[in-house]
């Protein structure tokens, strides 16, 4: 009996440690998103963009975890989280599921880091058949519109986290691709907006000008 009690005591301790790490990790992620959101709000104000909400995509987060965040500026909190794919790449510049590469080059099939202005709503052959044009606002992503990099969904993308499994490659040729439920949600938020919405793709592990792997 004593051995069983001792085992249960050790097991409960391990579970508490694991839960504590999970809590700290989530708290850190929220704090990082808050800091980025404050920068995003300042940029939106200074550039005549929507100051109700923005879309933040942290490509340094594991692809099987939520890394797309819809942030409400007025409520000062994340109101939606989702999975998001990164570009698969081609030729000698291929991403892996765990180590994404980034590029602004046409034909690279890689995601471009930087701030974007979301533009016109249009038809997509994928997901819920809706996409939004993306206009790159920085030297790291100013070819996005010409590359036909758009915000859209793809039905095989799960609507819940799949960690420790990664999202399969092949979902994206550079576009930020999310699940159908999230795209439906975003479409309902984006349709009535009068000012353009800011979408920001970033990687905390890299400088925006460094097209290297994320290390995840």
pLDDT digit string, tens, across residues 152-192 = 999 999 999 999 999 999 999 999 999 999 999 999 999 99
Question: Which of these, 32, 14, 11, lies nearest to 22 by C-alpha position?
Answer: 14
What's the token pair of residue 82? 């989702």
Rg (CA), the chain: 19
Residue percentage of the chain with pLDDT more than 70: 83
Own/partner pairs, 18-26, CB within 8 angstroms, 24+ separation: none
pLDDT value at residue 24: 61
List the domain boundaries for the chain: 30-202
| Three-state SS at 196 | coil
User: H/E element holding 105?
Assistant: none
d(CA 124, CA 197): 19
Rounded to the nearest 10°, the torsion over CA 34, 40, 164, 177 is 150
| Count of Cβ atoms closer than 10 Å to residue 57 Cβ | 22
Question: Which of these, 180, 129, 132, lies nearest to 159 by C-alpha position?
Answer: 180
Right CATH for 30-202 from 2.40.440.10, 2.60.40.10, 3.90.1150.10, 3.40.50.720 = 2.40.440.10
Q: State the pLDDT confidence band at 19, using cuts at 50, 70 and 90.
A: very low
Going by their DSSP bridges, the two strands 53-58 and 198-202 should be labelled as parallel
Question: Which of these, 113, 146, 149, lies nearest to 133 by C-alpha position?
Answer: 149
pLDDT value at residue 21: 41
Q: State the pLDDT confidence band at 113, using cuts at 50, 70 and 90.
A: very high
pLDDT digits (tens, 9 = 90+) for 61-106: 999 999 999 999 999 999 999 999 999 999 989 999 989 999 999 9
């Amino acid at each position: 009996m004593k051995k069983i009690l001792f085992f249960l005591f050790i097991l409960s301790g391990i579970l508490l440690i694991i839960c504590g790490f999970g809590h700290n990790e989530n708290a850190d992620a929220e704090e990082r998103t808050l800091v980025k959101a404050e920068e995003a709000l300042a940029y939106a104000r200074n550039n005549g963009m929507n100051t109700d909400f923005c879309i933040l995509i942290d490509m340094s987060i594991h692809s099987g975890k939520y890394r797309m965040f819809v942030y409400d500026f007025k409520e000062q909190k994340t109101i939606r989280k989702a999975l998001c794919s990164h570009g698969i790449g081609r030729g000698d510049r291929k991403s892996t599921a765990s180590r994404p590469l980034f590029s602004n080059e046409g034909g690279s099939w890689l995601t471009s880091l930087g701030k974007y202005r979301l533009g016109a709503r249009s038809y997509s052959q994928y997901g819920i058949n809706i996409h939004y044009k993306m206009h790159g606002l920085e030297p790291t992503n100013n070819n996005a519109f010409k590359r036909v990099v758009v915000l859209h969904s793809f039905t095989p993308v799960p609507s819940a986290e799949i960690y420790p499994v990664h999202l399969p490659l092949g979902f994206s040729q550079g576009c930020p691709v999310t699940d159908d439920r999230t795209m439906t949600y975003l479409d309902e938020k984006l349709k009535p907006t009068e000012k353009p919405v800011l979408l920001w793709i970033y990687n905390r592990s890299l400088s925006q000008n460094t097209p290297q792997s994320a290390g995840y």
